[in-house]
């Protein structure tokens, strides 16, 4: 048996905090969460106000510059972002190297990381203007590369961005348009829904993927490579993959009659199953984003037809049942943003394997703003947690010929 106290004496004092539940890793001015109240602010503005009156691109401006733009500034900013949506033709060659059944998130880890090969030397990461350009380029190119990932995985020809579309329209156009059609008609409610989802996911302080980007960036790596690390972290079902997992769970439940069985399974620690879209490290109350998403769900179903309605019905009943259950009450487990996101995507006919990719497009602004904020501090303190060593103490080495 190892004497941990003894080992600690050898390595000095530090806090043992698996999952960093009580460790603040940085000071930040970007996003504020009050987990007890269920409040979320971007640069001081309430998420509900932004969701109602603002757009994703306006939030990108707010993230980068710290203030809301005038109408003129916003137009100029969106024009600039759209003009940057084209990607280097050589990056298109990367897509030919992936298996046809590759998950688009796997492709995204690769191609966003590959941007570092195209944009490296020309930037001075200590110059705020250069960091601003890096942020704009990342946010602009992300939907293009995501749409290409989807079309590659679906065996479809790539579609390039067009000046006449705004940011969200361009993404939907590149992902869903038939290149043989002259026009791409898209319902404004669909554009609004995607815009709202992106806005709600833009940043969420020191979550797993943003912390990953910061840790990668703390060694002064290329920012696009750091964001690729963030995408890898987002992919899992405990984080960004939850929206895909929720939909799968609701489909498996299949009928309100099976809700109780599902809840019992989630409460049983030996089942290895959790209620997907429920619980949050910081929110110990409703995630304010889940309320906006629930409303959006109804709005989208109004225009796209009702075939997702049975799943929404299961979701609402599941939420009601869980919120009355002492297991969920005691642990303060409430629906998080992703409980309803998958349903909206499904109602919009967005392919399931794109759900987490779309989360990544939205979070690209949060990741790069977090990175930029860290670089602006200029402290260059490398992210380097300690560990509690519980392995064997010093052992005598035995030469191979002398081993039994």
Q: Does 261 bind ligand ACO (CB under 6 A)?
A: no
Quick one: tokens of 298?
């109804």
DSSP structure string for 160-188: ---TTS-HHHHHHHHHH--TT-S-----H
Cβ proximity to ligand ACO, 33 vs 114, nearer residue: 33
Considering 201, 204, 280, 325, which one is annotated as catalytic?
280
* Residue in 319, 338, 340, 348 binding ligand ACO, rule: CB under 6 A: 338
Count the residues of the shown chain that bind ligand ACO, applying the rule CB under 6 A.
19
Does an H or E element contain 197, and which?
Answer: helix 188-200
How many Å apart are CA 271 and CA 203, to the nearest integer?
32
**How many CB atoms are closer than 10 A to CB 4?**
12
User: Residue 181 Cβ, how far from ligand ACO at the closest point, in Å?
Assistant: 35
The yes or no reply on residue 200 touching ligand ACO (CB under 6 A) is: no
Per the listing, tokens 């020309």 go with 122
What residues numbered 103-142 form the site for ligand ACO, per CB under 6 A? none
Cβ nearer to ligand ACO, comparing 144 with 196:
196
From 164, 331, 381, 386, residue interacting with ligand ACO (rule: CB under 6 A): 331
Of the listed 203, 287, 325, 338, which one is catalytic? 338
Candidates 113, 143, 279, 366; binder of ligand ACO (CB under 6 A) is 279
Site for ligand ACO in 141-170 (CB under 6 A): none
Q: Looking at beta carbons only, is 131 or 274 nearer to ligand ACO?
A: 274
Please report how close the Cβ of residue 148 comes to ligand ACO at its closest, in angstroms. Answer: 25
- The answer to whether residue 280 forms part of the interface with ligand ACO (CB under 6 A) is yes
Q: Which of 46, 133, 162, 281 binds ligand ACO (CB under 6 A)?
A: 281
Q: For residue 234, give the nearest of 63, 65, 103 by alpha carbon.
A: 103
Rule CB under 6 A: say whether 295 interacts with ligand ACO: no
Three-class SS of residue 329? helix
Nearer to ligand ACO, 93 or 260 (CB): 260
What phi and psi, each to the nearest 5 degrees, are found at residue 32? Answer: -120, 135
Instruction: Please name the residues in contact with 363: beta carbons below 8 A apart, sequence gap of 6 or more.
Output: 201, 202, 203, 204, 209, 210, 230, 234, 240
Nearest residue (CB) to ligand ACO, 46 versus 239: 239
How many angstroms separate the Cα of 226 from the Cα of each of 109, 229, 251, 361, 377?
Answer: 10, 5, 35, 15, 17
- Residue 325 interacting with ligand ACO (CB under 6 A): no
Structure letter (DSSP) for residue 124 = -
Nearer to ligand ACO, 40 or 176 (CB): 40
- Which residues inside 3-62 make contact with ligand ACO, applying CB under 6 A? 19
CA distance 381 to 103: 35
Min separation Cβ 228 and ligand ACO, Å: 18
Nearest to 55 by CA among 34, 44, 69: 69
Cα–Cα distance, 99 to 37 (Å, whole number) = 46
Residue 250 in the binding site for ligand ACO (CB under 6 A)? no
The answer to whether residue 363 forms part of the interface with ligand ACO (CB under 6 A) is no
Q: What does the alpha-carbon distance between residue 404 and residue 345 come to, in Å, rounded to a whole number?
A: 60
Tell me, yes or no, if 338 is annotated catalytic. Answer: yes
Range 209-248, binding ligand ACO (CB under 6 A)? 238-240, 242
Q: Residue 98 or 273: which CB sits closer to ligand ACO?
A: 273
The yes or no reply on residue 329 touching ligand ACO (CB under 6 A) is no
Q: Are 120 and 222 in contact (CB under 8 A)?
A: yes
CA–CA gap between residue 57 and residue 166 (Å, rounded): 10
Residue numbers at the binding site for ligand ACO (CB under 6 A) = 19, 238-240, 242, 266, 274-281, 331, 333, 336-338
Catalytic residues: 280, 338
């Amino acid at each position: 048996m190892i004497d941990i106290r003894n080992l600690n004496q050898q390595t000095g004092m530090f806090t043992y905090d698996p999952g960093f539940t009580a460790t603040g890793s940085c000071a930040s001015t970007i996003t504020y969460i009050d987990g007890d109240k269920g409040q979320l602010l971007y640069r001081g503005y309430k998420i509900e106000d932004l969701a109602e009156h603002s757009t994703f691109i306006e939030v990108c401006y707010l993230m980068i510059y710290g203030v809301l733009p005038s109408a003129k500034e916003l137009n100029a900013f969106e024009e600039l972002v759209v003009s940057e949506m084209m990607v280097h033709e050589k990056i298109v060659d990367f897509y030919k190297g992936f298996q046809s059944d590759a998950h688009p998130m796997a492709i995204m880890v690769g191609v966003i990381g590959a941007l570092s090969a195209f944009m490296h030397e020309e930037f001075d990461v200590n110059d705020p203007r250069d960091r601003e350009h890096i942020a704009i380029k990342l946010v602009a190119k992300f939907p293009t590369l995501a749409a290409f990932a989807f079309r590659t995985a679906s065996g479809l020809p790539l579609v390039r961005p067009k000046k006449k579309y705004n940011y969200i329209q361009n993404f939907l156009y590149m992902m869903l348009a038939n290149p043989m059609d002259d026009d791409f008609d898209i319902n404004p409610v669909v554009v609004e829904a995607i815009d709202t989802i992106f806005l709600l996911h833009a940043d969420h302080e020191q979550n797993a993927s943003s912390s990953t980007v910061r840790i990668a960036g703390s060694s002064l790596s290329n920012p696009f490579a750091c964001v690729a690390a963030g995408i890898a972290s987002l992919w899992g079902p405990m984080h960004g993959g939850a929206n895909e997992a929720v939909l799968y769970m609701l489909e498996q439940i299949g009928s309100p009659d099976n809700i109780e069985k599902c809840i019992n399974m989630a409460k049983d620690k030996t089942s290895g199953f959790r209620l997907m879209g429920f619980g949050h490290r910081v929110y110990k109350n409703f995630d304010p984003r889940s309320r906006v998403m629930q409303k959006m769900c109804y709005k989208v179903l109004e225009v796209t037809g009702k075939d997702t309605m049975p799943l929404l019905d299961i979701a609402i009943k599941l939420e009601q049942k869980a919120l009355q259950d002492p297991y969920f009450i005691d642990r303060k487990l409430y629906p998080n943003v992703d409980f309803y996101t998958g349903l909206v995507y499904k109602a919009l006919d967005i392919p399931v394997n794109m759900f987490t990719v779309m989360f990544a497009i939205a979070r690209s602004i949060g990741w790069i703003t977090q990175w930029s904020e860290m670089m602006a501090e200029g402290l260059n303190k490398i992210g380097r947690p300690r560990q509690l060593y519980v392995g064997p103490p010093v052992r005598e080495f035995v030469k191979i010929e002398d081993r039994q």
